[in-house]
Structure 1
């Protein structure tokens, strides 16, 4: 199997497919991952699938317990709130630092990622979700703080499910889509202009209206 930029292995394929099924809810939170059945369905042996499970465990999407089945990690309003609280602080910090330390190469990467953005139209639109991540990743990396980048990357892995929950709860209106595009443009421009205060403020506004924030309401409204 090949993919743009290199070889796409069976391990990669099993990881991508298992992650997709978890993010879209095909494998429900808390459910046991049927390893033999799933491996047969996606056309790989159980070895690549077990490797995918280990990778997703490290990302917080799968729970592994000694001598027990692998399960899809549960979701909760409390965890959604905790993720939001951390990102409300760290994302603006990353944007502020990026405005202070960005290079010409960083600006080009952020601009390219911005040009590739597209609206996230539904809970199964993982390509658009990934392009959204690529934009934020470019901003994070421009901060020149590898510890901060690592923390935010790991938070993003866990937060993706909550973004999809938020979108499923209430889809974006045309006004939402226009706002998100404008915020991304403002973040890009503030970083490129070296305006740390503006970059911090726009990113903070962006996080406060994010799908992750919407997920908190969605989960709080679910029946007990």
Structure 2
């Protein structure tokens, strides 16, 4: 007997989340072949929800179908990253500005986040830092409360984890990035939309410059594929 719709949906969500995490973490690096039988067995789902998960990942650009039977993890090029950041700037700058325009009650999460970015030494726990960045992103999306904007940002967020790992974060860049996030959060808390958008623009400018530096052809990180 086949699984019911809700069970299949849960299995598909599980397969999608597992594959996406593995791609972002580097456990499945660019070029990895994602055989349906092997991946379904590894994750513990049937092939139907596995195919649905692969379809979602393909729509986000994380995997590509090389043939009807061969799906692989997508490559990441510097050109693609630059294109991604161009779209990211447009969406995230506007989102930060809109969040700053919300009521005081809708902005009450941002001052504590700014404090947290300012207090901690990001290099002590890089994973905790990225969790805090994700918390800020979620707080901005919640304040804006625009489902269309949230959906537009979702595929961009899907790529950021593996871009960070490919770029190999440097301690000095991590500290600067924490200060930039603190300023974004502080500007939103103060209701200053112009500053929030500008601080986001500056952060993304420096973030892309750091990626370009790390992935340049003569960079040691590009040659070794070192991850943080």
Fold shared by both chains (TM-score > 0.5): yes
RMSD over aligned CA atoms reads: 3.0
1:70 aligns with 2:71: yes
Structure 2 unmatched ranges of 5 or more: 1-8, 224-228
1:192 aligns to what?
Answer: 189
Residue of structure 1 aligned with 2:211, choices 195, 201, 215? 215
SS at match of 2:18: helix
Partner in structure 2 of residue 30 of structure 1: 31
The correspondence for 2:175, drawn from 178, 194, 200, is: 178
Q: Which runs of 5+ in 1 are unaligned?
A: 1-7
Matches within 5 A, 1:153-168: 153-166=154-167, 168=168
Cα distance change on mapping 1:144 and 1:188 into 2, 3 Å: same
Alpha-carbon distance, 1:70 to partner = 1.7
Aligned partner of 1:10 in structure 2 is 11
Tell me what 1:79 maps to.
Answer: 80
More helix by percentage: 2
Structure 1, 128-137 or 77-86: larger mean CA deviation: 128-137
* Shift, 1:110, TM fit: 4.0
In structure 1, C-alpha distance between the alignment counterparts of 2:116 and 2:55, rounded to whole Å: 31
Q: Distance in 1 between matches of 2:209 and 2:68?
A: 36
Distance apart, 1:109 and its partner CA? 4.3
Question: Normalization by structure 2: what TM-score?
Answer: 0.74
- In the alignment, the residues of structure 1 paired with residue 36 and residue 211 of structure 2 have an alpha-carbon distance, to the nearest angstrom, of 29
CA offsets, 1:170-197, max 9 Å, x none? x331x43433332222212211211122
Q: Is 1:39 aligned to 2:36, yes or no?
A: no
Counterpart in 2 of 1:98? Answer: 99
| 1:58 matched to 2:59 | yes
Offset at residue 207 of structure 1 (A)? 1.2
Output the CA distance in 1 between the equivalents of 2:37 and 2:116. 37
Deviation at 1:131, TM superposition (A): 4.3
Q: Tell me the alpha carbon deviations over residues 79-131 of structure 1, each in whole angstroms, 9 at most, x when there is no partner.
A: 0111122223332222122212x134432344576678784856xx5x75454
State TM-score, norm by structure 1. 0.75
Q: Sort the Cα spacing of 1:116 and 1:58 in 2 relative to 1 into closer, same or farther, 3 A.
A: farther
State how far apart, in whole Å, the 2-side matches of 1:182 and 1:17 are.
Answer: 32
SS in 2 for 1:70: strand
